[in-house]
Chains A and B, each alone.
Chain A
Amino acid sequence: MNSNHLSAWEQEEYVLDQRTPQMLRHLTECDECRAAVAQLEHGLGVYRKAAVQWSAESLATRPQQFITASRQPVLSLRWAMAAMIPIVLVLIALLPLRTSNPHPAQPGVAQISTAQIRNDAGDDALLDQVDQQISAAVPSSMESLTHLVSTGSGTAAKGSKQIVQNN
C-alpha cells in the first residue's frame, strides 16, 4: 500500500468491500482519500437509486398478467392434443376398410354412395341442358322472331328462315 495515499486500485477494493485494516486505518487519518472514496460511493449510490426508480416506474405501467397467460396456452394445447389422438386413431382404423372394400356392406356408406350417384346424374343433366342452349342456332329469347319469319310471305322470308335454320 502506498504510504501517502490509497491508490486507485485500493480505493476500488474498498468500494468492493475488500477492505484491509491498513486501508481502514489510513482512511480514518486521510481526509483526501476519504473524500475520494466517498465521492465514488456517492456516484454509485445515485446510479443505483436512479436505476431502481426508473425500473420501478417502468414496471408500474405493465400489468402482471403473464403468469396465467403463459400457462393457459400450454394446458389448452395439451388438452387439444389429447382430444385429437383418439380421432386420429379412429380415422387410421377406418382408412383400410374404405380402400380394401369398394362395395361396402354398411348401410351408411351405401347411402352416401347412392347420394353421390344422384348428384353426378343431376350434374350430367345440367351440363346437357347448358350444352343444348349454347349449341342452339337461335337462342330461346329470340325464338318468337323465327315464328314471325316462318309465317311471313314470299321467298325472301323462306330464304331468311333457311339461313337462320342453317346457322
Chain B
Amino acid sequence: MEALEQLNYTGELSPLRDRMIAELEDVNTLCVTYRSRIYRYALLSLKDPDLAETVTQDCFLKAFKARKDFRGDCSIATWLTRIATNLIRDCTRSRKFQFWKTASSTALEAGDIADRLRSPGISPEASLVVREELVKVWDAVDALPDKQRSVFVLRFVEEMELPEIAIAMGLHVGTIKSHLHRGLAAVRKTMEKKR
C-alpha cells in the first residue's frame, strides 16, 4: 500500500515503537488523550450518541487487547482511528442500525446543531448567515455515502493528513483524494445551489 510505504520507518522504529507500546499500556492516559477524538469521529459517522459511546469503548478495549500487535508504523491516533473505522463499519452493516436509520429519516436536524452553535462577538445578522451556511454544509455532508463521509470527517474535522487517512481507512491515497474531491464538490454545489 502506498500509504504504508510512505510511513515505513525502518532503522529507528524500535525505540519509537517501544515508547508507543508503553503509551498503550497506560489505558487511562490513552482514554483521556484520545477519547474525545474517537467519540467525535464515531458520533459524526453514526449520528447516535449511545452507539458512538459503545464504539468508543470497544475501540479502547480492542486497542488494549491488541497492544502487543501494534507495529508502530503509524501514530497511535491513526491506529485507534483504524480500529474505530472497522467498528463503525460493522455497526452500520447491522440490521438494527439499518432499521433505525430508515425509521428516523434524520436522526438529528442540521438546524438543531446550528441553533446550538455559539458564535460570540458577531451580530445577529452575521450569526444568521453562519447558521444558514452551516445547515447547507451539514446537509451536504449528511447526504454523502458512508465512506466518503468518513473520509471527509477525518480530513476536515480531525484534520488528518491524506496518508494517515489512507492507513485509517485501509485505502490508497489516490482513493482518499478522489473521495475528498467528490465530497468537496457536493458541498460546493449545495452551497451554490441554495445561495
Contacts and interface: CB of A to CB of B under 8 A. Distances in A.
A122 interface: no
Contacts of A50: 113-114, 117, 134, 138
B153 A51 contact: yes
26 contacts: A12-B184, A16-B162, A16-B177, A40-B187, A43-B134, A43-B136, A43-B191, A44-B187, A46-B130, A46-B133, A47-B138, A48-B156, A48-B157, A49-B117, A51-B153, A53-B117, A55-B43, A57-B116, A58-B49, A58-B52, A59-B36, A59-B39, A64-B35, A66-B31, A67-B60, A70-B57
Nearest to B58: A70
Interface of B: 27-28, 31-32, 35-36, 39-40, 43-44, 49, 52-53, 57, 60-61, 113-114, 116-118, 130, 133-134, 136-138, 141, 153, 155-157, 159, 162, 177, 180-181, 184-185, 187-188, 191
A164 interface: no
A53 B118 contact: yes
A53 B116 contact: yes
Contacts of B32: 64
A158 interface: no
B187 A54 contact: no
Interface of A: 8-9, 11-12, 15-16, 18, 39-40, 42-44, 46-59, 62, 64, 66-67, 70-71
A12 B185 CA distance: 8
Nearest to B180: A16
Residue from A46, A56, A64 having most chain B Cβ neighbours under 10 A: A46
Given A8-B188, A16-B177, A55 B138 contact: no
Contacts of A39: 191
Which 8 pairs from chain A and chain B are nearest by CB? Answer: A55-B40, A47-B137, A12-B184, A66-B57, A43-B137, A46-B134, A58-B49, A51-B157
A54 B48 CA distance: 12
B88 to A, nearest CB: 14
Contacts of B191: 39-40, 43
